[in-house]
Amino acid sequence: MKHRPELRFLAVVVVVCAVLMAVGRTRAETPRPMTGAPTPAEVVGRLNAALEARQPQDYRDCLAEDFSFSPYSAVVAAYPQVKWREWGVAQEFEFARWLSSPARKVAMHLAYEVKDRGIESDGQVEWDVVYLLRIDGSTFSGRAILTFVELRKLWYLQSWEDTRPEPYEGTVVPTSGEARASFTR
């Protein structure tokens, strides 16, 4: 039986391609490492920094998989077309991508004023904060309950619940829910 060098070369190429495809598939299916932060305060800092640096994936990395956003009740009534009950990590990531657009001027101070840091219990803590969000010259401010959860020794933002508008420089301005509603249009 004669061995043809072309067939041997072709067989080697096929095997190498199969191995490379398998390695590529394994890398693509490997989940990102847990990326939260060592403390809730650092989660807040990283969320702010992610928007400032226009890095929506860094923002996403600080959200718990079961993240939820709940707007102030008046926002729910004003924007009934938005599926608020379904606002989870995917919608928040898309919102962060929208905010991170090079065309936008954005600044976020998630804990502009911390009213209460709560007491950590069973790997969870709630902060009562006043936040400030500026988008393209418009200011959004409100009071919110931020719930942080600890998973494998790292903290993540699990929920953001706007509880009421908060005056900014003596004027009541829209809340972050209204910014999210304008993003969904």
* pLDDT value of residue 6: 62
pLDDT cut 90: percent of the chain above it: 79
Contact status, residue 158 vs residue 147, Cβ threshold 8 Å: yes
Helices (H), 86-148: 89-99
Q: What is the rounded CA–CA span in Å between residue 104 and residue 138?
A: 11
In the chain, domain spans: 1-30, 40-184
E strand map for the chain: 63-70, 106-116, 124-135, 138-151, 154-165, 167-168, 171-172
Question: Which segments in the chain show pLDDT lower than 70?
Answer: 1-34
* CA dihedral sign of residues 75, 76, 79, 84: positive
pTM (two decimals): 0.81
**How far apart are the two ends of the chain, measured CA to CA in Å?**
71
Contact status, residue 110 vs residue 43, Cβ threshold 8 Å: no
* pLDDT value of residue 35: 85
* pLDDT value of residue 86: 96
* pLDDT value of residue 109: 97
CATH architecture for segment(s) 40-184: Roll (3.10)
